[in-house]
Structure 1
Amino acid sequence: MILNPMVSIVCTSYNHGDYLADAIDSFLMQKTDFEIEILLYDDASTDHGPQVIKQYASDYPSLIKPIYETQNQYSQGVRVELFNHNRAKGKYIAVCEGDDYWTDPYKLQKQVDYMEAHPACSMTVHAADRVYSDKKKVLSTVRPEKEDIILPIERVIEGGGDLVATNSMVYSKEKVAVLPPFYLNAVVGDYPLAILAALHGTVNYLDENMSAYRVGVPGSWTNRELATSEKRVKHYQDMERMFDEINAYTHYKYTDSLTKAKLGYEFSLLLEEGRFNEAKHGEYRTIYLELSIKKRMIMEFKRCFPRITESIRKIKWKMIH
């Protein structure tokens, strides 16, 4: 039993049985000069995920601490990531979902070395590949900058949920000890976590690619929460409410950045609802002009051929999932 780990690796899983071994193996391959603990939380998976966890927990009883739910907590509105956050004993918490994995055996050492040398740092992040489901084919790279840099809070807010990969995050539990209402009420966890860290310290980006983020995973959050137009509309509206809560929490100190981020989601909502002319004018004009030519062409295609677009979306969704 590890009594005083430097890092708690937190991993939440739901029906990730086909991918969990990659995630856990990437935790176990970490080469560090400090102790770690691995906290695995299974939210009542209906696949073989729990069996995978039980096997690893049996092989590494001093490292791996599992929780197995018998009823799915996420569907009941419970913030499942809190189970691991609250029981973590580490000075730092490293995040990786059950369908993702790390690729650099020195990832944790590099991030902890930086944070130990920079006490003001509340979170470190790094570059990551987006890979296609089980094939591990690299689709793109999450790389917000081309050098090591401290990300200003305005950049974290305006960059949105895709600015950094969730499985690149290592944060200080002391600096992010109290989780405010805007985080607890949010429909996502990684984006508000990065904002919260930026409010209580510095968020440092290390320009090294050290993990892989899977897309197109059956049963993933994206699959469950953004599969239909109605769900996407609700998501955009929920995100707008989150920005309002953050604005109140920060006493309106970052109104400009939060307003810009909110406009981005309002823009996406207009596109989802087919209100293309509105999206091209007024306060949304700047966002429209910042789109690439390719994205503008796709937007015009959706406007002219909405039924074909929806059919293509459904076919693509089925092919991915």
Structure 2
Amino acid sequence: MNYDFDLSIYVATYNHERYIEKALDSIFLQKTHYSFEVLVGEDCSTDKTRNVLKKYEQLHKDFVRSGKLKIFYRDHNMYREIPDNADDLKSRCKGKYIIALEGDDYWIDDMKIEKQISFLESHSEYIGVSHNCIVVDENGNVTGEKYPECKRSEYSISDYMSNILPGQLTTLMYRNIYADSTINCTLLKKGLSPGDKLIVLVLLCYGDIYCMQECMSAYRHITTHGDSYSARHKYSFEEDERWYREVVLYLDAVAPSLTKYGDELYVRCIMKGIKERQCTIGKAIKSCKIVRNIFDSLWAWCVYKVHKDILHKELWL
């Protein structure tokens, strides 16, 4: 397959007036011999993000002329649309590899993409490669918070089932699965949130993920206000159940060897719904008809609760 660039970097931004310039600078300051494009989606921000981007274009006309920087100014907000802002950007990526940089995050190692692309070029057995990150607050101060990232070189389904990710979204570079007809990306086109966990799951179905134990990016975690997922999210059993139901159906169709993990995740979802009093016992029994072996899944849930809440193990399987 022929690609126009070695790497596509997509930047979905909304109300990132204070942060978007730093994010983009951290891309264009990268030292690499690989070619890359940057696709920015400005999702009708209510602050001055659009003005900042227009000034950025004027200051960096060479990036625009060369096709290295493409900014899409949305005519309406695409939140909760299918595709949404980020998904539309991903569909436009023409690179061999793909990575996200959210508009309020930034990279702190100017050799980051050189290291990651070089790894994937020399290790065809891996579908993705990630690294560690620091967590900062709205003012860029390091908080000391630990992101649930993988601290081993090889990422596994055991990590996934223990709520550990290979790394934060902007640390994970992977082969352009959206341009590969052999990879089933239907799970990523249903408007489900959070989407980063779905991307990781799809990648696991098709290859291995390597985790570099180097810190190369900053994740801005704002939970009290703003427009991040963490700030907006409120638990909804209805949304949660749909997310896990789609996971079960996808694994059943694409990766039968992983279906038992989908069943276990679904049972966890049902039990949480009961605990939060958003799911009745009758509804739980009816919903669990999609689970192939309910007894094995209930036993796996018991093991998970013991490992997580009583023994406080890192891996919950």
TM over 0.5: yes
Q: How many residues align?
A: 282
Query: Is residue 74–residue 80 contact of structure 1 (8 Å, CA) maintained in 2?
Result: yes
What residue is the counterpart of 1:172 in the other structure? 175
Structure 1 residue aligned with 2:34: 34
The answer to whether the 8 Å contact 1:14/1:98 transfers is yes
What residue in structure 2 maps to residue 222 of structure 1?
230
Counterpart for residue 203 of structure 1: 209
Contact preservation (8 Å) 2:148, 2:164: no
Residue aligned with 2:139, SS: helix
Output one character per residue of 1:49-90: Cα deviation in whole Å (capped at 9) or x when no partner: 111222222222323210011211124343322322222222
Bigger shift: residues 14-23 or 39-48: 14-23
Secondary structure of the 1:207 match is strand
Aligned to 2:5: 5
Residue 60 of structure 1 corresponds to 60
Q: Distance in 2 between matches of 1:289 and 1:119?
A: 38
Residues 91-240 of structure 1 mapped to structure 2, 5 A cutoff = 91-142=96-147, 144-147=149-152, 149-152=153-156, 154-155=157-158, 157-160=160-163, 162=165, 164-173=167-176, 177-178=180-181, 180-185=185-190, 186-216=192-222, 218-224=226-232, 226-227=233-234, 229=235, 232-240=236-244
What amino acid maps onto 1:171 in structure 2?
Answer: Y
- The change in CA–CA distance for 1:285 and 1:251 in structure 2 (over 3 A counts) is closer
Distance in 2 (alpha carbons) for counterparts of 1:122 and 1:251: 16
Residue 87 (str. 1) matches residue 104 (str. 2):
no
The alpha-carbon deviation at position 91 of structure 1 amounts to: 1.2
Unpaired stretches in structure 1, ≥5 consecutive residues: 296-321
Deviations 1:160-213 (A, max 9, x none): 475531111111115863553222123332111112222222211111111121
- Taking structure 1 as the reference length, what is the TM-score of the superposition? 0.78
Cα distance in 1 for partners of 2:87, 2:43 equals 12
Q: How far 1:159 sits from its partner (Å)? A: 4.0
Aligned-partner Cα distance in 2 for 1:116–1:293: 43
Cα separation, 2, equivalents of 1:260 and 1:115: 32
Aligned residue number for residue 266 of structure 1: 270
Residues 268-304 of structure 1, C-alpha deviation per residue, up to 9 Å, x if partnerless? 43443389xx9xxx64433332235699xxxxxxxxx
Query: In 2 relative to 1, CA 265–163 (structure 1 residues): closer, same or farther, beyond 3 Å?
Result: farther
For 1:131, the aligned partner's letter is V
1:287 and 2:287 are equivalent in the alignment: no
Q: Normalising by structure 2, what TM-score?
A: 0.79
Distance verdict in 2 for CA 1:272–1:162, change over 3 Å: farther
Correspondence for 1:304: none
Q: Secondary structure at the match of 1:123?
A: strand
State the distance in 2 between where 1:190 and 1:143 align.
Answer: 13
Deviation at 1:106, TM superposition (A): 0.9
Alignment of 1:16-31 (within 5 A): 16-31=16-31
Q: Deviations over 1:132-154 (max 9, x none)?
A: 2224332423364434x2323x2
Q: CA-atom RMSD, angstroms?
A: 2.8
Q: Secondary structure at the match of 1:17?
A: coil
Amino acid at match of 1:239: W
Percent of matched pairs sharing the same residue: 22
Runs of 4+ in 1 over 4 A off after TM superposition: 292-295
Question: Which secondary structure state, in structure 2, belongs to the residue aligned with residue 10 of structure 1?
Answer: strand
Give the secondary structure class of the aligned counterpart of 1:182.
Answer: helix
